[in-house]
Amino acid sequence: MDRQMPLETTGEMLTFWTQQDRMHGRQPLGQWLFAEIARLGVPGATLSGGLVGRGHDGATHWVTLMDVAEQPLQISVVAPSAEIDRLLAALAGQVPGLFYSRVPARFGTL
């Protein structure tokens, strides 16, 4: 029986951090950014909502039963470093103050 080893490569995990009520023009920033990543040809991204988060300014943001406006959001992409560089260059200047983190990653498919 011929078994193939999983293909694995290296790159980075890029995560943008924002909250539900932040806007880009007339569209929620998280949704705009998710769509913009796809428009720029990056094949995968995940938009996740959190229950509670503390911003780099120390303010706590959380979801309540009556209000999701301050819901913390993450938009994550895992891709080769060159693709992450291209994505950040394309987004530069479009969203002032958008916080992100990027960390080395090994990824693949089984």
Cβ neighbours of residue 18 under 8 Å, at least 6 residues apart?
29, 30, 33, 72, 73, 75, 98, 99
Q: Give me the residues paired with residue 27 across strands.
A: 24
pLDDT, tens only, 29-85: 999 999 999 999 998 899 998 777 777 778 777 677 676 777 889 999 999 999 999
Whether residue 86 is contained in a domain is answered as: yes
Looking at residue 43, its amino acid is: P
Domain span at 86: 15-55+67-105
* Predicted local distance difference test score (pLDDT) of residue 53: 75
Q: Could you give the C-alpha distances from 71 to 22, 65, 102, in angstroms and in order?
A: 10, 11, 22
Rounded to two decimals, the pTM is 0.83
Let me know if residue 46 belongs to a domain: yes
For residue 93, is pLDDT > 80?
A: yes
Of 13, 24, 28, residue with least CA distance to 77:
13
Domain membership of residue 6 (yes or no) is: no
- Closest to 110 in 3D by CA, of 1, 2, 3: 3
The pLDDT score that the predictor gives to residue 106 is 95
- Answer whether residue 93 is part of any domain: yes
Domain contains 10: no
CATH number where 84 lies: 3.30.70.120
Residue 43 located in a structural domain:
yes
Q: Mean of the pLDDT values across residues 18-35?
A: 93
Q: Is residue 51 part of a domain?
A: yes
Domains held by the chain: number: 1
Summarize the confidence of residues 87-97 as an average pLDDT: 93
Q: Give the Cα separation of 66 and 10 in Å (integer).
A: 42
| Domain-embedded: residue 50 | yes
What's residue 38's pLDDT?
96
Beta bridge partners of 13: 78, 103
Confidence of residue 2 (pLDDT cuts 50, 70, 90): low
